[in-house]
Amino acid sequence: MVRIPEANKRLFSNIFVCKKCKTKVRSDSNRIRNKEVKCRKCNSKEFRAKNVKK
């Protein structure tokens, strides 16, 4: 199946997942790296990038 660039950007760009409660948050990667973003659900500051399934 062909990947559409616009869809990839919408689905995976600037989306991070909380490591504790698995909640998705859309934010800038610099803010995530500097720990300026808190999870809405558990107030954690630990995030990972959303996985891209191949």
Rounded to an integer, what distance in angstroms lies between the CA atom of residue 8 and that of residue 17? 16
Does the predicted model carry a pTM greater than 0.85? no
pLDDT digits (tens, 9 = 90+) for 2-31: 788 898 888 888 999 999 999 999 999 999
**What integer pLDDT is reported at residue 12 of this predicted model?**
85
Can you tell me the mean pLDDT for 37-46?
A: 96
Residue type at position 54: K
Q: 13 vs 27, 33, 42, 43, 50, CA distance in Å?
A: 9, 15, 23, 22, 9
Sorted by where each begins, the domain ranges of the chain are: 15-49
Does pLDDT of 33 surpass 70? yes
